[in-house]
Amino acid sequence: MACLARARLIQLTKILHPTPWSFQKEATRKILCVPLFTHNKITRNYAASTPSYKYVLAEKRGEGGCVGLVTLNRPKALNALCGELMEDLKYALLELDADPNVAAIVLTGSEKAFAAGADIKEMQHKGFVDCYAGGFLQGWDALTRIRKPVIAAVNGYALGGGCEVAMMCDIILAGEKAKFGQPEISIGTIPGAGGTQRLTKAIGKSRAMQMCITGDPINAQQASEWGLVSSVHAPDQLVNEAIKLGERIGNHSKVIVSMAKASVNKSYETSLAEGLQFEKNLFYGTFATKDQTEGMTAFVEKRKPNFTDS
């Protein structure tokens, strides 16, 4: 029976997460060697022809290095999201997602700007065919295919693409001076990386419509009241608070956390009836894991569980 249960879990995983595996295949073609982690820093053991990150800093923080920290690092442009930065971000996240010691990932920018938007100079002279045939911005949603929880720690400006990237994360924490907005209307276009879709689901049609057709930003307090962010913190404490949250996530089984994340995200993409069935199937699937057995046994025996992520 245990073998049948485990086989069912494997089958469910393939059905529920078809995209990440193809995503990892793409990464395998481009990442030539397995990344090495030393002294809580990511050391990328790439071939000499492969450049290191130009616009992203990556390291491991928290107890035992259980939290990945990725910092957007294009300060002269307020972390404007150019193509090269988004490629750096994708592969930095992939490395941390593949690291068995990392339980959660924090994505942040500077205190002045999380990301002030997409790089306007990069898109200024594009035409319809350039965008449509070239799949402009198609690669941005790679962030949503990371299987570990991603926490956005937003200080300063999160405008346009910056707001969209924050909403691709699983949890958003904001600094007290953070500002969120979709100002694309002011430059003659509309959001193109999820702003009209994710924002509507997060704060409702009326508020999302107001933000998208006026271009007016909202502050951290409004974002909290409207349900866009989970909590608001002092700017100089924001990243530490996000890392602490990642550590709390790290107390639990990574495989069960991944299943919980998949189930919550499914609620955005399906009907209630389909979502409930999806949740039930994953719930049943947890009973094929060693961590479910350990967790319930530890509860009955009144001790702390020793999860093995299996």
- 161, 175, 181, 246: which is the annotated catalytic residue? 161
116 is catalytic: no
Cβ neighbours around 119 below 10 Å, total: 19
Determine the Cα–Cα distance for residues 167 and 191; give it in Å rounded to an integer. Answer: 13
In this structure, which amino acid lies at residue 63?
E
Structure tokens at 82: 């150019």
| Nearest CA among 192, 225, 185 for reference residue 86 | 192
Structure tokens at 243: 């890392």
**Alpha carbon of residue 50 to chain centroid:** 25
Determine the Cα–Cα distance for residues 130 and 124; give it in Å rounded to an integer. Answer: 11
- 58, 104, 118, 152: which is the annotated catalytic residue? 118
Sorted by sequence, the CB contacts under 8 Å of residue 200 that are 6+ apart come out as 208, 209
Q: Which one-letter DSSP state was computed for residue 113?
A: E
- 166, 184, 208, 223: which is the annotated catalytic residue? 184
Q: Would you call 225 helix, strand, or coil by DSSP?
A: helix
Sorted by sequence, the CB contacts under 8 Å of residue 307 that are 6+ apart come out as 252, 253, 254, 256, 291, 294, 295
- Residues of 225-253 as b/e, b for ≥16 C-beta within 10 angstroms? ebebbeebbebeebbebbbebbbebbebb
Determine the Cα–Cα distance for residues 85 and 280; give it in Å rounded to an integer. Answer: 39
118 is catalytic: yes
Kindly list the distances between the CA atom of residue 150 and the CA atoms of 121, 146, 205, in Å, as whole numbers in the listed order: 29, 8, 25
161 is catalytic: yes
Q: Are 174 and 229 in contact (CB under 8 A)?
A: yes
Catalytic amino acids? 118, 161, 164, 184
